[in-house]
Amino acid sequence: MPNKIVVKNLKKSFGGLEVLKGINLEVAEGEVVCLIGPSGSGKSTLLRCLNRLEKITLGEVVVDGHPISDPNVNINKVRENIGMVFQHFNLFPHLTVTENITLAPIELKLMDKESAKNKALRLLTRVGLAEKAEVYPGQLSGGQKQRVAIARSLAMNPDIMLFDEPTSALDPEMVGEVLEVMKQLVADGMTMIVVTHEMGFAREVADRVLFMDDGYIVEEGTPGEIFGNPREERTISFLNKVL
């Protein structure tokens, strides 16, 4: 299968602090990759470099054939094809659920208002929130907000979805409903990169699990290998703490 994402020797510094110290990664079409590791290990930064929410300090990132580390690439066009879901949902509070979902497709003239609305309704049905189409985000629970956020990303028909700790800000009883929606996406063959602390989810749906620590990918393998038979000292000690 062709590679959707290729990362070569990616380095990222904030001021003098080097957060990513040389990342190499290839993600195939339809692959589900989970990034695990302790806080501050660079997981989120790596994810945010993939749609250039973080400027790339050094190295090469190619998404869908577009070298996004090149400043001349039209990043907006590339981003249309990469959905991103945030820990804190980041729904637009001044817009209704439907408007949240239709804003980008309409503004970017990918759809007219009518078809964008229909699409929003289909997506809301898919995430189980059709009855919330006309409410404002403030009236939703955390789990509902995150499902709307996923629907909002899907409205752009992305090939790739990035999830940045999508369940970390949720009350425990709402984690399941969001993971359920994500599992549907996996079943549909979406290429996904998920930064997560949900080891159960990673074990169940990931094709590959990457363990990051201190700016490096320390170990990678199938969920069976990483969770069943980790080789690196740091992986073992991290998994002992979280499992």
CB of 110 to other proteins, least distance (A): 9
User: Is residue 92 near other proteins by the rule CB under 8 A?
Assistant: yes
Q: Which is nearer to other proteins, 135 or 236 (CB)?
A: 135
Q: Which is nearer to other proteins, 27 or 78 (CB)?
A: 78
CB of 44 to other proteins, least distance (A): 12
Taking CB under 8 A as the criterion, the residue among 107, 114, 131, 134 binding other proteins is: 107
Taking CB under 8 A as the criterion, the residue among 117, 152, 208, 234 binding other proteins is: 152
Q: Which is nearer to other proteins, 152 or 234 (CB)?
A: 152
Instruction: Please name the residues in contact with 101: beta carbons below 8 A apart, sequence gap of 6 or more.
Output: 116, 119, 120, 123, 124, 148, 151, 152, 155
Taking CB under 8 A as the criterion, the residue among 103, 130, 199, 236 binding other proteins is: 103
CA atoms within 13 A on the CB side of 123: 25
Residue 8: helix, strand or coil by DSSP? Answer: strand
Residue at token pair 């189980």: 128
- Binding to other proteins by CB under 8 A, coded x per residue (else -) over 68-87, reads --------xx-xxxxxx-x-
Single out the residue of 214, 222, 216, 195 nearest to residue 9, CA to CA.
216
Q: Which is nearer to other proteins, 88 or 231 (CB)?
A: 88
DSSP string, 204-234: HH-SEEEEEETTEEEEEE-HIIIIIS--SHH
Return the structure tokens found at 132. Answer: 């919330």
Taking CB under 8 A as the criterion, the residue among 55, 88, 113, 231 binding other proteins is: 88
